[in-house]
Structure 1
Amino acid sequence: MLSLRKTSLAFALSTATALLFSACGGTHDDSNGSPNTPPVTPPVTTPDPSKGGAISLHGIVYGAPDTSVQADAGIPITMMGQMRALFDLIKKAPDFTQVVMDLGDGNPVHVLDTNTGDKFLPGKLALGLSWILIDMKSKGDPAYADYLATYQKITTAMMTQTNGANYMYANTSWGEYYYLVALNNFKAHGMLNEVFSDAMLATLQSRLTFCDMFGADASGKTNTCPAAGTSIDVASLNTAQNYYAVSYGIAGLRQKLGWSNPALSSTSDATVATMGARDALLYTLTRHIRNDSSGGFSDEASNTHTTYYDQARFDRYSTLLIGEVTERTLEMGNEANLTPELKSYLRKSVDLILPQLNADGQGFNYGRSIGPYGDTAFMEVLTAAANAGVLTQQEMQVAYSFIYKAAYRYETFWYDPTLPTPSVNMWVKGRGTDTYRGKPRVMGENFSLLHQFMYVNAWWDKLGFNGKAPMADADLKAWLDAKPHYTLTWYNQPTDTAHPYSAALITVRDGKRVINLNLSQAPDYNSFTPYYPTPFSDKLIYGTTDLSYALLIPQVSYNGKTYIPVTYYKNLNVQENNGQVVVSFDTAKFRQAAKNATYASDLDLQVHTVLTFSHGEMTRTDTLSSATLTGNLSVETDFTSFADFQNTSPSGAFSVNYANSAATNYGTTGFDSCALSDFSMAAGATNPLSTTPIGQLHSNFACTTNPFALTGGGNRTLSWTLKYADAS
């Protein structure tokens, strides 16, 4: 067996333009570096003289001095160009609340009205457009005063206009944080009092707090800060645990501006009351990461756990959170509290990411809220790690090269200049995202994604990479090829009879192809395909957000209800034999296929699963058994392909061939019948099950059993084999 690496991942939303700091040392267990890595000296990279620095991260973000695209950069527009285009779209509208973005699907969106559902919109807009003002001011742009006036008009209206007792625009949590980043950036450039009046700053000081995240439930009620002499109970967080990081960022950035924070207390830990809000929130957040997993990852299932298996939604954000924490800590000048413990968690995140890196800039391919955010999560964690000094010099080169690739992918894949209103595309042309990032939030998603690339670029500029070329593709490929064939990352390891279940990620590398098998309990999302115990891989297998069907798992029908094996994982074992990676595990019960299904509705059905990964092929075998079920059950398993339905042809009753696709053949055993169908259309409209974050699924090969019983100790074995071409 190959040596196993525990890992984790993280995320950071901030801006580096306001920061100058020295990278801190760190500890990690990577074999490429010493246990006590010193502060990193920026490695030497060579710019491509034929491109004038265009083939660099900075070249993609800023381009030429006027932010136009440099020659041979291979992108349609720079990121600053995109941000300026959004500013111009708003600026030319007589009424900014009526600004429309048209994605060509027949349903244009009023992206700055009060009903977008984006409760962060004022902060996103204030931060996104601040990049343009700062750039214009630094260059002495004669149009600066005109753009400043537009900025002041919009920000004032959004943050001060009221409708009865309520503000017209919500701006909670992340929105408050984004706004405070903008304020600190303006202050760092000597522009704060030029952009905002004293009255406006007083309004912002009273409104940009973390109070809305504590106290009342998550019904949408906006809480007020406690009166003088009282405090907020830090345990009263009314949203997911990762919002401790958002509140920490708010408290630290308020403190950096010289603004006071609400006081915090705790009914369970008197230490909290001895700290200021900033440090109390970091203390609480560290305790969350430490206590809610055995591997240092953040459990994102809930802020209230009643049983062990409630504590097991591990996804993009679980690994991203520590990157956010690191980034906030550096951004607010709180480096002294970036402890060895936090750095060790950050290193685990790095170790989860490194085996997944690729030359195409692709990030997470499982879990919720991915798409371009799956790519930028890798980027943000690696940037935080570079700044915290937990990367070796070679890893610095690799990290920068991947981030360049992610930026290029954003410009050439996620950004679509052919839309009626050019924009990032997560919603049309076969793509789909979760309800949380619904299309009415399109303006805000452009702002937040562009900001991520801009602040990351600013950090790498400070690390000595301004205008530098990434590694040569051949060198990056050689580094990637040297990664282990598989990596096992534990989130939670079973410890005793009270805690018997496993949560882990298995990453398999087959040439250039990265395959992830994520075993995560996810009680609030496990009914949705992105959380299935299914191998996910780019352009080969992808889940559909917020929806469920029998994607490569044995979906059971019993007594008129549907059940799926998506939690209660036990006896996880991973081995490599003769070049094959073999993963086996047991599932103790089947869950009803419904969001937040009660545990009382679990089905006493067990399955022993074996997944075998070979070059160009993966096979899954499921053996079902039960000691108590008396009625008949039936099973369905589907494989949905990106291959054109017209180019898909059955090669027998139980297998199918694909053309012009990463998949080449899929076949099953143990089923009674299979049927090939067009998956992209349903009742004359686009099938919502077919829109994945990266594009539309077109064909479905569904295999089913006739009803059968599992009595007298009997069992039923079903299997599928998927063959695929090498990734290009």
Structure 2
Amino acid sequence: MHRTRQSALTLALSTLSAIVLSACGGHDSSDSSTPPTDTTPPQSTVAANSLQAMVYGAADTSVPAGAGIPVTMMGQMRALFDLIRKSPDFTQVVMDLGDGSPVHVLDTNTGDKFLPGKLALGLSWILIDMKAKGDPKYADYLATYQKITTAMMAQSASGDYAYANTSWGEYYYLVALNNLKARGMLNEVFSDAMLNTLQNRLTFCDMFGPDASGKANTCPASGVAIDVASLNTAQNYYAVSYGIAGLRQKLGWSNPGFFAASDPTVATMGARDALLYTLTKHIRNDSSGGFSDEASNTHTTYYDQARFDRYSTLLIAETVERSLEMDNQANLTAELKGYLRKSVDLILPQLNANGQGFNYGRSIGPYGDSAFMEILTAAANANVLTPKEMQVAYAFIEKAAYRFNTFWYDPSLPTPSVNMWVKGRGTDTYRGKPRVMGENFSLLHQYMYVNAWWNKLGFSGQAPMADADFNSWLDALPHYTLTYYNLPSDSAHPYSAALLTVRDGSRVINLNLSQAPDYNSFSPYYPVPFSDKLIYGTTDLGYALLIPQVTYNGKTYIPVTYYKNLSVQESNGQVTVSFDATKFRQATKNAAYTTDLDLQTHTVLTFAHGTVTRTDTLSSATLAGSVAVETDFASFADFASTNANADGVSVTYANSPATAYATTGFDACALSNFDVANGTTNPLSTTPVGQLHSNFACKTNAFTLGGGAQRSFSWTLKYAG
């Protein structure tokens, strides 16, 4: 099949010259809703620590003196464009991350269904910049851009496309088209024939259906409606389809209509407004706290809903941003702005001087940082930040950009790139290494458009507030903040779902309680405190990380849902959290709820300065047979500098934020090197921010627990800084 698709691509490449040559040099009127390039400040006024310096840099996109970064984001984007441009066949472009398995990143089988849109958008930033500066190489880069975009939209005689480009890919492409139109470049870059192809292909229809034949839906004939309730993917994709519909409308392209028998109101609306209406209902109805429940589309009862993570907080910001870029500000209601303010209130207590974002849940890493940035930018544009918060937001975003340029971007790789995959880092299967090219472009675009908005907001080239003032603001934040996703009074959601954020000096610690169906067996969703370089989960995998993992009848069970009786108290500078887990879940992905174990734990976590302590008291009224319990702590500390103590139940660390870890209630503990398993890198050891090196596993012998018997286990982690 791959050979067939590649043949179709080869055929398409042979016809490129005629298509590219048909492009004409028309001029489009400017559109002020897209952040324009004329907000770019004169180079002499750009502060070295400004967001503009991190993203664009000097006039030639080089690093300004004093910026302290290896390369600007525009420099990164230009290098990727050059990598493609210099290849005789762009489908054979290779990116080498130094792990012995280079990737053909623009092949047709990367698995990145958004790749054509990501390239069209990412590379368009370079064209826009070159055109504005009168760069003499513009025509050469334009020709390469036209070759790539045309080939990636190619269709064979059988009707198959060489490259998939769905949902996000369609949205990205439409952002590029609108950005080019706003600069008067659309008809210079794309021929009428190509624009006709794009108009027919860049739709949201593939997210609805499937059709009667079982294939992905294609847009029906003009005037025929499709069912808005037939979304065939996660409900957050209503925001993607909303973006597509609005950006098509902004280009003057028509949209299919919608109907929904359960809600006739939708039938009276155009696609853009129908999708916003439906998306608003999702956020309103699927939690009582204003955060989107990202499991609500595939699960039907309260106990298997309630996945709250990065996207639950980010979705409303994306909705606001889409509204702004499509000129739909009039529909940014007080309700939507209220939801956005809730997201702001959740992340403000997590802000820090290092530009780090979400540290729990899935799909974080650099996207955890950029999510904070996108939420704050949407809030600034929607006027839901105070003047002081505007200054704080800009300061944090500049730090996030600096972190991207100095931590996530790795110029030492054989092919310099954002790094989510090597040197001890690991990410979701969803963002696997074959998608490395697309991930570079989508992340860089996020910073590009955010910088453009802050330029437009009046921060063009400005230095952020002084570090002393920023740190003073951080120091004044509450010691802890409790944010409910579902309000305690909500009888439709009887289990607790909330985020606790504790600040200990400059350290931010998050405890996220979420049902997380489909993901609750993975450690990033465990009810444990996460904090940078101290405690981190491993994507798509689980082990006994700081929870009492139970073995019973040859199967493993964990207390990762069914939370009740959540209580948070502060006394004498200590924050004490208690909650109950009323059942244990089988520790496998998508475990049936009928396999839940009648086992309870009462959990108490205490946060003091430099110390976190957890005690679990296990009990069961009915459990027969014996159980065994294990709890692990895997540390970023080097194994060579980690020492088990003579007492057999504690360990000390050096050269690490963690300094000591001790347990009670277990029969034996063992320290091991966590890096390697069976001669290869241990997949459990690769977190989004780096490799875990040592593991201290504490276990019990088999014991009985039934008839109301109890047994308690505890651990204490001490840390510095």
Which of 352, 356, 359 does residue 350 from structure 2 map onto?
A: 356
Cα distance in 1 between the residues matched to 2:553 and 2:78: 58
- Per the alignment, residue 445 of structure 2 pairs with 451
Q: Taking structure 1 as reference, are residues 91 and 399 closer, same or farther at Cα in structure 2, changes over 3 Å only?
A: same
1:311 aligns with 2:305: yes
- Per the alignment, residue 680 of structure 2 pairs with 685
Cα distance in 2 between the residues matched to 1:291 and 1:435: 30
Which SS does the other structure have where 2:81 is aligned?
A: helix
Cα distance in 1 between the residues matched to 2:395 and 2:99: 35
- Per the alignment, residue 674 of structure 1 pairs with 669
- Per the alignment, residue 205 of structure 1 pairs with 199
Cα distance in 1 between the residues matched to 2:212 and 2:637: 42
Whether the 8 Å CA contact 1:60–1:407 is kept in 2: the answer is yes
Cα distance in 1 between the residues matched to 2:30 and 2:302: 42
Q: CA deviation at 1:47?
A: 12
Cα distance in 2 between the residues matched to 1:497 and 1:48: 57
Residue correspondence of structure 1 range 77-226 to structure 2 within 5 A:
77-162=71-156, 164-216=158-210, 221-226=215-220
- Per the alignment, residue 598 of structure 2 pairs with 604
- Per the alignment, residue 550 of structure 2 pairs with 556
1:20 aligns with 2:32: yes
1:725 aligns with 2:683: no
Whether the 8 Å CA contact 1:617–1:723 is kept in 2: the answer is yes
Q: Taking structure 1 as reference, are residues 634 and 18 closer, same or farther at Cα in structure 2, changes over 3 Å only?
A: farther
Q: CA deviation at 1:228?
A: 2.9
Cα distance in 2 between the residues matched to 1:626 and 1:18: 68
Cα distance in 1 between the residues matched to 2:210 and 2:231: 8
Which SS does the other structure have where 1:179 is aligned?
A: helix
Residue correspondence of structure 1 range 94-493 to structure 2 within 5 A:
94-162=88-156, 164-216=158-210, 221-493=215-487
559-568 or 52-61: which moved more? Answer: 52-61
1:536 aligns with 2:536: no
Whether the 8 Å CA contact 2:95–2:103 is kept in 1: the answer is yes
- Per the alignment, residue 700 of structure 2 pairs with 705
Which SS does the other structure have where 2:256 is aligned?
A: coil
- Which digits, 9 at most, give the CA deviation of each residue in 1:16-47, with x for residues without a partner? x9863699xxxxxxxxxxxxxxxxxx9xxx99
Cα distance in 1 between the residues matched to 2:706 and 2:512: 32
- Which digits, 9 at most, give the CA deviation of each residue in 1:686-722, with x for residues without a partner? 0000000000000000000111111231111000000
Which SS does the other structure have where 1:160 is aligned?
A: coil
Which of 615, 630, 633 does residue 636 from structure 1 map onto?
A: 630
- Per the alignment, residue 29 of structure 1 pairs with none
**TM-score where L is the length of structure 2:** 0.93
Cα distance in 2 between the residues matched to 1:218 and 1:520: 37
Cα distance in 1 between the residues matched to 2:213 and 2:370: 30
Whether the 8 Å CA contact 2:663–2:714 is kept in 1: the answer is yes
Q: Taking structure 1 as reference, are residues 220 and 569 closer, same or farther at Cα in structure 2, changes over 3 Å only?
A: farther
- Per the alignment, residue 8 of structure 2 pairs with none
- Per the alignment, residue 640 of structure 2 pairs with 646
> Which residue identity lines up with residue 127 of structure 1 in the other structure?
L
- Which digits, 9 at most, give the CA deviation of each residue in 1:286-323, with x for residues without a partner? 00000000110011114133111222000000000000
Whether the 8 Å CA contact 2:242–2:272 is kept in 1: the answer is yes
Cα distance in 2 between the residues matched to 1:510 and 1:218: 57
* Overall identity of the aligned pairs, in %: 81
> Which residue identity lines up with residue 446 of structure 1 in the other structure?
N
1:660 aligns with 2:650: no
Cα distance in 2 between the residues matched to 1:218 and 1:545: 37
> Which residue identity lines up with residue 516 of structure 1 in the other structure?
N
Whether the 8 Å CA contact 2:620–2:707 is kept in 1: the answer is no
Cα distance in 1 between the residues matched to 2:462 and 2:314: 26
- Which digits, 9 at most, give the CA deviation of each residue in 1:541-596, with x for residues without a partner? 00000001000000000011100001100000011011000000000100001111
Q: CA deviation at 1:498?
A: 5.7
Whether the 8 Å CA contact 1:680–1:686 is kept in 2: the answer is yes
Q: CA deviation at 1:229?
A: 3.5
Q: Gaps (5+ residues) in structure 2?
A: 1-28
Which SS does the other structure have where 2:145 is aligned?
A: helix
Whether the 8 Å CA contact 2:32–2:182 is kept in 1: the answer is no
209-218 or 315-324: which moved more? Answer: 209-218
- Per the alignment, residue 14 of structure 1 pairs with none
Which SS does the other structure have where 2:703 is aligned?
A: coil
Which SS does the other structure have where 1:150 is aligned?
A: helix
Which SS does the other structure have where 1:166 is aligned?
A: coil
Cα distance in 1 between the residues matched to 2:680 and 2:570: 45
Whether the 8 Å CA contact 1:642–1:698 is kept in 2: the answer is yes
Whether the 8 Å CA contact 2:286–2:296 is kept in 1: the answer is no
Whether the 8 Å CA contact 2:296–2:306 is kept in 1: the answer is no
- Which digits, 9 at most, give the CA deviation of each residue in 1:389-412, with x for residues without a partner? 000000000000000000000000
> Which residue identity lines up with residue 478 of structure 1 in the other structure?
S
Whether the 8 Å CA contact 2:69–2:405 is kept in 1: the answer is yes
- Per the alignment, residue 8 of structure 1 pairs with none
> Which residue identity lines up with residue 276 of structure 1 in the other structure?
G
Whether the 8 Å CA contact 2:619–2:708 is kept in 1: the answer is yes
Q: CA deviation at 1:216?
A: 1.8
Whether the 8 Å CA contact 2:228–2:259 is kept in 1: the answer is yes
Cα distance in 2 between the residues matched to 1:589 and 1:619: 22
Q: Taking structure 1 as reference, are residues 649 and 120 closer, same or farther at Cα in structure 2, changes over 3 Å only?
A: same
Q: Taking structure 1 as reference, are residues 221 and 116 closer, same or farther at Cα in structure 2, changes over 3 Å only?
A: farther
Higher relative contact order (CA 8 A, sep 6+): 1
Cα distance in 2 between the residues matched to 1:710 and 1:336: 60
Q: CA deviation at 1:52?
A: 5.0
Whether the 8 Å CA contact 1:48–1:55 is kept in 2: the answer is no
Whether the 8 Å CA contact 1:669–1:719 is kept in 2: the answer is yes
Which SS does the other structure have where 1:238 is aligned?
A: coil
Cα distance in 2 between the residues matched to 1:382 and 1:212: 31
- Per the alignment, residue 711 of structure 2 pairs with 716
Which SS does the other structure have where 2:267 is aligned?
A: helix
Cα distance in 1 between the residues matched to 2:430 and 2:115: 13
160-169 or 229-238: which moved more? Answer: 160-169
Cα distance in 2 between the residues matched to 1:295 and 1:658: 40
Which SS does the other structure have where 1:138 is aligned?
A: helix
Which SS does the other structure have where 1:167 is aligned?
A: coil
Cα distance in 2 between the residues matched to 1:91 and 1:594: 45
- Which digits, 9 at most, give the CA deviation of each residue in 1:368-409, with x for residues without a partner? 000000000000000000000000000000000000000000
The total of aligned residue pairs comes to 688
- Per the alignment, residue 518 of structure 2 pairs with 524
Q: CA deviation at 1:226?
A: 1.6
Q: Taking structure 1 as reference, are residues 497 and 713 closer, same or farther at Cα in structure 2, changes over 3 Å only?
A: farther
Residue correspondence of structure 1 range 24-39 to structure 2 within 5 A:
none
Q: Gaps (5+ residues) in structure 1?
A: 1-16, 24-41
Whether the 8 Å CA contact 1:18–1:184 is kept in 2: the answer is no
- Per the alignment, residue 25 of structure 2 pairs with none
> Which residue identity lines up with residue 76 of structure 2 in the other structure?
Q
**TM-score where L is the length of structure 1:** 0.92
Whether the 8 Å CA contact 2:208–2:228 is kept in 1: the answer is yes
- Which digits, 9 at most, give the CA deviation of each residue in 1:137-174, with x for residues without a partner? 11111111111000001100000243743101000000
Q: Taking structure 1 as reference, are residues 18 and 532 closer, same or farther at Cα in structure 2, changes over 3 Å only?
A: farther
Q: Taking structure 1 as reference, are residues 362 and 19 closer, same or farther at Cα in structure 2, changes over 3 Å only?
A: farther
